[in-house]
A and B are shown apart, each in its own frame.
Chain A
């Protein structure tokens, strides 16, 4: 199956610093990637849709200046948590869509656990 790689798998940072998480589709091109956030024992909440070559589309309530998304190539999307605070501590998961729009099947990365001290 298709492989999506996330890096880093875990990161600990100090409050006020910025953290970048990478999401790569290793064996296919993905014009669309999605970023989710998951709190412990909860479901995945969609944060934003990342579109190659254009601005990301953010879900209601997600601060676009706080969570910067860049999708500069067909195999890489990055999520930067700017000026991180303890409440940003969470599990961040990306997914990449293979194939055209509406095909539905997404391939997920292994997630990145962010802990902000």
Chain B
């Protein structure tokens, strides 16, 4: 089953610009995570935000979580061509170890 819907589905920006991706989910969660996937490769864990947290930073990444709206956003600041990849949110619900992925956003950063 798929939990999250992400938008936009695709995003194209120039280097140096900021990229914002949004994720909405349906049920109560323990935490929400963001992953990155380069084409044809495995996933890289970027950041985890717990249900009692509202914002988290890691380098050029900023994640927000609004549990009342069941939504999260990932902001990549000062983007680089190397940030080109697909980005997925994934939710972990209480009483389960299953990580359910959103639909993903394909980000392309032009040099």
Contacts and interface: CB of A to CB of B under 8 A. Distances in A.
Given A43-B2, A43-B104, A104 B33 contact: yes
Interface string B1-25: 1100000000000000000000000
Chain A interface SS verdict (over half): strand
Contact of A59 (B1, B40, B41): B1
B1 A49 contact: no
B31 interface: yes
A104 B31 contact: yes
A60 interface: yes
Interface of A: 6, 32, 34, 36, 41-46, 49, 59-60, 91, 93, 95, 97, 101-102, 104-111, 113
Interface of B: 1-2, 30-31, 33, 35, 40-45, 48, 88, 92, 97-104, 106
